[in-house]
Amino acid sequence: MHSHYFRMRWRKRYMLLLLLLSMTFFYFLSRIDRLTFISGSHLDCSSTPFLNPIKSGLCVPPLNLHFSPVKHRLAVIIPFRERFTELHYLLPHLAEFLNNQGVSHSFYVVNQVDTFRFNRGALLNVGVQESLEAESKGVFLKLYTTDGKHIQVGFERCLFPRTDYLVLHDVDLLPLDPALSYSWPPETGPVHLIPATIHPRYYWVKNYFGGVVVIRREHFNQVNGFSNSFWGWGWEDDEFRLRVLRSGLSINTPSNLTYGFKAFRIIHNDIRHSRDVKTYSHPEVKQLVRELRGGLDTTNYTVVARRLMHIDGVPALLIDVSLRCNTNILICGM
């Protein structure tokens, strides 16, 4: 009787252990399986022209249609939060615009998926770091292969082409004027492609430095990127401007534009995506502008998922990230 009792106890423990192991396995599987593809069809590594696995186990994606030998390559860093409607306009439009200028490029879209206020500066820092990771070490992407009858799911470590300069690009700005050059910026400092003088909304903001900025990687590192402390709309570009100027760099602006205030088209929908200005006038936030606290080397985040997506044939690496609050929780929180 005792032996039967002990056998039953061990059987229950064994079943409980199997249950716990299964739950743990499916939990981590669910975390990994957040890699979904927006373009509608799963990525077939054996047939897609944008992602080609090679013998070493790496897959090297030619991420745009411009294959001419070039000296420099541009990383387009787009920070946003679930703004896929605008992204569907921007990616094909900007890809064609860059191809017409002969600018070799890769797209990196950084999507904030936590519950904190939007933090544009921190997302741009993440985009710069993650693009460098993808280009130096490679990143694992979920791939689907098929023999016509069966679909196999696997992972390939994908190495992206090296880039040596960046454009920090808002998702709701479409360049229209061909004179807007996304080419290699000068040694003196970054190029602000949409200064207040041509901005249809912020023409009254004297030192406006947001929207679209082209900058060398070395210069972005030199100023230590953006502050991570600006949660909600505003101030991160003002503080970034001070970083650039205090580091001895100058801010360049485009010339010979023919479109004026129509150099860019704004596709921001104020009704669907209202600006979060609740922290804009907070005294702690205003004080941060002059302190130049933290930056690229203090960015604290977790990558939730990486996905290779295509919009109208234009590929981009979409990176879902969760940021960490680095200040008063009342400022970070929604």
Burial tier of 28 (Cβ tally within 10 Å: 0-12, 13-18, 19+) = exposed
Question: How far is Cα 15 from Cα 130, in angstroms, rounded to an integer?
Answer: 42
Q: Is 285 left (phi over 0), alpha (psi -120 to 50) or beta?
A: alpha
Q: Whose structure tokens read 């890809």?
A: 95
Task: Report yes or no: 255 and 185 within 8 Å, Cβ to Cβ.
Answer: no
Question: How far is Cα 219 from Cα 253, in angstroms, rounded to an integer?
Answer: 16
Give the residue-averaged pLDDT of 317-324. 93
Contacts of 118 (CB under 8 A, 6+ apart): 81, 112, 231, 232, 233, 276
pLDDT (tens digit per residue) in 119-163? 999 999 999 999 999 999 888 886 666 666 666 667 778 889 999
Q: Where are the alpha helices (DSSP H) in the chain?
A: 2-32, 84-100, 120-136, 217-222, 236-246, 283-291, 329-332
Q: What are phi and psi of 25, to 5 degrees?
A: -60, -50
pLDDT band at 304 (very low <50, low <70, confident <90, very high): very high
Share of the chain above pLDDT 90, in %: 41
Question: How far is Cα 213 from Cα 224, in angstroms, rounded to an integer?
Answer: 15
pTM: 0.76
Question: How far is Cα 289 from Cα 237, in angstroms, rounded to an integer?
Answer: 9
pLDDT band at 171 (very low <50, low <70, confident <90, very high): very high
Write the DSSP symbol of residue 275: -
CA angle (26, 29, 31) in 5-degree steps? 115
Task: Report yes or no: 43 and 51 within 8 Å, Cβ to Cβ.
Answer: yes
Contacts of 27 (CB under 8 A, 6+ apart): none
pLDDT at 143: 64
pLDDT (tens digit per residue) in 8-35? 666 667 777 777 776 665 554 444 333 3
Contacts of 75 (CB under 8 A, 6+ apart): 105, 106, 108, 127, 128, 131, 163, 165, 166, 167, 217
Question: How far is Cα 194 from Cα 181, in angstroms, rounded to an integer?
Answer: 11
pLDDT band at 5 (very low <50, low <70, confident <90, very high): low
Give the residue-averaged pLDDT of 178-203. 90
Give the residue-averaged pLDDT of 156-175. 93
Question: How far is Cα 204 from Cα 196, in angstroms, rounded to an integer?
Answer: 7
Give the residue-averaged pLDDT of 195-210. 79
What is the CATH T-level fold of the domain 42-332, as seen in this structure?
A: Spore Coat Polysaccharide Biosynthesis Protein SpsA; Chain A (3.90.550)
Q: Where are the domains of the chain?
A: 42-332
Beta bridge mates, 302: 322
Contacts of 282 (CB under 8 A, 6+ apart): 331
DSSP assignments along 23-92, one per residue: HHHHHHHHHHTT---TTSS--BTTT-TT-EE-TTSEEE---SS--S--S--EEEEEEESS-HHHHHHHHH
pLDDT (tens digit per residue) in 238-293? 889 999 999 999 999 998 887 778 889 988 665 565 555 555 445 565 555 555 57
- Interhelix angle 120-136/236-246, nearest 10 degrees: 60
Give the residue-averaged pLDDT of 69-84. 87
Q: Whose structure tokens read 């023919």?
A: 258
Task: Report yes or no: 198 and 227 within 8 Å, Cβ to Cβ.
Answer: no
pLDDT at 237: 85
Task: Report yes or no: 295 and 228 within 8 Å, Cβ to Cβ.
Answer: yes
Give the residue-averaged pLDDT of 47-61. 40
The residue ranking higher by pLDDT, 198 or 39, is: 198
Task: Give the residue among 245, 235, 224, 246 at the shortest CA–CA distance from 293.
Answer: 224
pLDDT at 69: 53
What is the residue-averaged pLDDT of the chain? 78
